[in-house]
Amino acid sequence: KELFSDFEKDYGIKHEYLDHEGVYNRAVEQGTKAAKKLRRLQKERNPGGKEIWPRGIYDASSFGIFPANSPFTIHITMFVDVLKGQGTPEQVEKWVGLAENCNIIGTYAQTELGHGTNLRGIQTRADYDRKTQEFVLNTPCLQAYKWWPGGLGHTANYANVVAQLYIDGENKGIQMFLVQVRDLETHMPLPGIDIGEIGKKIGMHAVNQGFLGLKNVRIPRDQMLMKNAKVMPDGTFIESPDTKLTYMTMVYTRCLIVKMDSVYLLEAATIAARYSAVRRQSPINPDDPEPQIMDHVTQQLKIFPEIASGVAYDVAAEQVLEYYNETMQEINNGKYTRMPEAHALSCALKVLCTTDACAGIERLRLACGGHGFMTAANIGNIYGNAVAAYTYEGENTVLLLQIGRFLMKSWSYLVEGKQMLNSVEYLRQGQEKNSFQKWDNSWECIINAFKYTAAHKTRIAFESFSERMMAGQTQPEAFNNSGIELTQAAEYHGRQFVAEIFCKAITGPRSANFSPPTKAVMETLVELYLVHITLRHLSDILRFIPLTEADVKSLQRRLEVALQKIRPEAVALTDGFDFDDRVLNSVLGAYDGNVYERIFESAKMSPMNKKPVQDSFETYLKPFMKSQL
């Protein structure tokens, strides 16, 4: 906390009142100052210990200290990681130090104007010139312009560029090339480099995302990252022995995204909970004073399930990260069986968390009524930063379809009696209709209901898919035409997983560390989470499991009881997340609860209020009012 004490407040004017250039220039100032400060603190307080830099910048950008994020985030994370992970020992030796010391600033240039998710469609090309032992990089058409890399606009002077490698005109697939894009002294774009920023976006305003066109840009042979595939001086191409490890990097990245978006969700929930404890509106009994709006049950329903959901995703991400580490150990020992399941789980988690977190953040903003519409509430900004993850690192629908493919494969294994991966063992329940245990209202029963429903959703998707093939469609056509049912099955694959993981984490051996009051609150959160998602997914559950009206009514009452139980704990619970006021950056959600004073103070700080009359009055408004329109 101390590290970031003076990072935004010393500027007097909030970032949202700066113009586009102003936001960027301030972000460069803040980022460079922050880096130096973190390094100094590292040396003073933690010499030789775990580095707080650069992780500190990543945290500051991702969780709100830098409310507009930072042009350095991609440099700190992906640029450095990719050099380390895909460079030869010589390349790591030569470049990683420069990058970690920020002597060069880099970015990761993969997505193009015309291609994102379908990586194979990338059109940027790198032709090997045997005579000079160089690669010649080109952007063959407008759609092949690199588009979106963070920091590429005006910050980076290097980029890891993803391109199709050609040797003697023959395509050798996608490789990575380290390209210098700006002069180290003047920062001017180098010859053949067409570079700039892509314009304003609805969030992440300081990330300085850029475009890049290349025209006959030459780089030496040793600037293709060659840990895996290699090009020899004479042009011989040596294929990568294994591409599976890069695949696992995506698993890891997706877990980080889930951590990030679950935190954003909990930030928004904290703001809405605090505001709802201060705002008073509409007496419940006509003669009583106006209650805190949190006493309205409909308001509780808007806030408390989001708290439960944020905690559930946070717990689930931890779990998948552990699973990732185990899988990586197995992979290092040459065992790859778990990989598809790690991939499917991380995809499902990423899709569900970003979907639920974004919808939740917006519900929480709307739960703050009109005041949530003010920029100073900061929930809009949190949303803008959180929602980017819905479409990046694998667009959500595309990921669901990949999970769908995994489920189809798993189902055919089941049908064929082959061995199943642990995470899809539950599919067996889909083989027999009307086989669900008696509904007994327990948590276990609810989790089983999700597994059972997920299994039957997979069965139905498989049946549709098979019917279409039998009717003469090709497999890909049948797959596309069954897309709706496949994505639904994929969603349930994630739902049953998160429900189980969350419940186990709170009831399992780890919960021994909880104090009794903490355990009680956490158990109420699990109860709320499970009952709430059950009621939300009755559409499918009721198709397969014959709940009675009394069962549904009982779930509804349990929902109401859980909300009631959380009501007195809600503010303490969100205080417990320990978000600094600077992180929440919200007039509605500060720790002291001085909502109205803060709103008013913030409005007074709007630059428009610095002068009582705006320039347009004399120029346009006065003549207009006098003109006898």
329 Cβ partners below 8 Å, 6+ apart? none
Q: Could you tell me the smallest distance in angstroms from the CB atom of residue 156 to a copy of itself?
A: 10
Binding flags for a copy of itself, 584-603, as an x/- string (CB under 8 A): ------------xx-xx-xx
SS3 state at 193: strand
Q: Which of 393, 485, 491, 523 is catalytic?
A: 393
Candidate residues 177, 307, 540, 566; the one interacting with a copy of itself per rule CB under 8 A: 540
Please state, as a whole number, how many other Cβ atoms lie within 10 Å of the Cβ of residue 202.
12
Instruction: Give the type of residue at 405.
Output: R
- CA distance linking residue 247 with residue 229, whole number of Å: 15
Q: How many residues bind a copy of itself (CB under 8 A)?
A: 144
Between 263 and 460, CB nearer to a copy of itself: 460
150 is in an annotated binding site: yes
Candidate residues 84, 94, 115, 504; the one interacting with a copy of itself per rule CB under 8 A: 115
What is the token pair recorded at 237? 């191409």
DSSP H stretches of helix in 416-515: 443-470, 475-481, 483-507
Candidate residues 85, 203, 340, 593; the one interacting with a copy of itself per rule CB under 8 A: 203
11 makes contact with a copy of itself (CB under 8 A): no
Candidate residues 409, 519, 538, 580; the one interacting with a copy of itself per rule CB under 8 A: 538
SS3 state at 290: coil
Between 504 and 537, CB nearer to a copy of itself: 537
Task: Classify residue 115 as exposed, middle or buried by CB count within 10 Å of its CB (0-12, 13-18, 19+).
Answer: middle
What is the token pair recorded at 447? 């989790």
200 makes contact with a copy of itself (CB under 8 A): yes
388 makes contact with a copy of itself (CB under 8 A): yes
What is the token pair recorded at 247? 């695949």
- CA distance linking residue 210 with residue 192, whole number of Å: 16
Subset of 259-298 contacting a copy of itself (CB under 8 A): 279-286, 290, 295-298
Q: Which of 527, 504, 497, 538 is nearest to 304 (CA)?
A: 527
Instruction: Give the type of residue at 491.
Output: E
Q: Is 498 left (phi over 0), alpha (psi -120 to 50) or beta?
A: alpha
Q: Could you tell me the smallest distance in angstroms from the CB atom of residue 306 to a copy of itself?
A: 15
Distances in Å between the Cα of 561 and the Cα atoms of 18, 140, 297, 300, 480 are 47, 62, 10, 11, 43
Q: Could you tell me the smallest distance in angstroms from the CB atom of residue 256 to a copy of itself?
A: 19
Binding flags for a copy of itself, 483-522, as an x/- string (CB under 8 A): xxx-x-----------------------------------
Subset of 423-462 contacting a copy of itself (CB under 8 A): 460
47 makes contact with a copy of itself (CB under 8 A): no
48 is in an annotated binding site: no
Q: Could you tell me the smallest distance in angstroms from the CB atom of residue 448 to a copy of itself?
A: 19
Between 314 and 362, CB nearer to a copy of itself: 362
Between 515 and 627, CB nearer to a copy of itself: 627
Candidate residues 108, 128, 135, 145; the one interacting with a copy of itself per rule CB under 8 A: 145
622 makes contact with a copy of itself (CB under 8 A): yes
Please state, as a whole number, how many other Cβ atoms lie within 10 Å of the Cβ of residue 459.
21
Between 389 and 414, CB nearer to a copy of itself: 389
Between 22 and 517, CB nearer to a copy of itself: 22
Between 317 and 531, CB nearer to a copy of itself: 531
43 makes contact with a copy of itself (CB under 8 A): no
Q: Could you tell me the smallest distance in angstroms from the CB atom of residue 526 to a copy of itself?
A: 20
384-420 burial by CB neighbour count: b if 16+ within 10 A, else e? bbbbbbbeebbebeebbbbbbebbbebbeebeeeeeb
Rounded (10°) CA dihedral 403, 407, 408, 410: 140
Determine if the peptide bond prior to 612 is cis (ω within 30°).
no
Cβ contact 223:177 at 8 Å: yes
Helix axes 379-391, 244-278, angle to 10 degrees: 160
Between 22 and 235, CB nearer to a copy of itself: 22
Candidate residues 150, 372, 394, 430; the one interacting with a copy of itself per rule CB under 8 A: 372
Candidate residues 88, 246, 435, 481; the one interacting with a copy of itself per rule CB under 8 A: 481
- CA distance linking residue 522 with residue 496, whole number of Å: 19
Residue 318 appears among annotated catalytic residues: no
Q: Could you tell me the smallest distance in angstroms from the CB atom of residue 341 to a copy of itself?
A: 23
101 makes contact with a copy of itself (CB under 8 A): yes
318 makes contact with a copy of itself (CB under 8 A): no
DSSP H stretches of helix in 537-585: 538-544, 549-566, 570-575, 581-584
Query: What are the binding residues?
Result: 111, 150
Active site residues: 393
Query: What are the binding residues for FAD?
Result: 111, 150
